[in-house]
Amino acid sequence: MSGEHRLASVALDEESLSAASRDQEQERQIAIFDLLEENHFVPDGAEGGPYDLRISLIDNRLALDITGPGYQRRHILSLSPFRSVVRDYAMICDSYYQAIRNATPQKIEALDMGRRALHNEGSELLKARLAGKVETDLDTARRLFTLICALHWRG
């Protein structure tokens, strides 16, 4: 599919990953699978993909290494704007995973709505932080935000 602006592979730096529960690991795997199935990813200045993306942490900053035909670039993003939404998202996800095991359907639904709202907030923030660097659609940004949440936040 040469020439397409899309991701062909996504890798998370193993040393940057936080310890994960079974639920979190499954969410990570689903995000990567869904991302590779369908995505819109247009790096600024690239003529066409597909692209490979490696996500890691370097000196408490988010590093996105993008390579494709005739294209190679690293984008470094500050984690500061993400800290609050990621912290809140992690807390509500923990509550949600516990609730699915023993809470009422109403409580699960309420937690899921809160989880989705925070996920959307983080995804919109990611899209805004990538402006001028990489164009994505909301679904791609949502899946990338899930992967960013999987990283270990040092410091």
Residue 138 lies in a domain: yes
Rounded distance between C-alpha atoms, residue 119 and residue 90, angstroms: 10
Rounded distance between C-alpha atoms, residue 53 and residue 10, angstroms: 5
* Tokens (6 digits) for 1: 């599919």
Domains of the chain: total: 1
**pLDDT at residue 16 in the model:** 67
Residue 1 lies in a domain: no
Residue 62 lies in a domain: yes
Residue 50 lies in a domain: yes
Helix, strand, coil share (%) of the chain residues, nearest 5: 50, 25, 25
Residue 48 lies in a domain: yes
Helix (H, G, I), strand (E, B) or coil at 153: coil
Residue 43 parent element (H or E): strand 41-43
Per-residue pLDDT 10s for the chain (155 aa) are 345 899 999 999 877 666 667 777 787 888 899 999 999 999 999 998 999 999 998 888 999 999 999 999 999 999 999 999 999 998 998 899 899 999 999 999 999 999 999 999 999 999 999 999 999 999 999 999 989 888 755 43
Non-local CB neighbours of 110 within 8 Å, separated by 6+ positions: none
Q: What is the largest CA-CA distance in the chain?
A: 53
Residue 155 lies in a domain: no
By CB atoms closer than 10 A (0-12, 13-18, 19+), residue 43 is: buried
**pLDDT at residue 136 in the model:** 96
Asked if 39 and 6 touch (Cβ cutoff 8 Å), the reply is: yes
Residue 134 lies in a domain: yes
Residue 122 lies in a domain: yes
Domain that holds residue 114: 7-150
* Tokens (6 digits) for 133: 């660097």
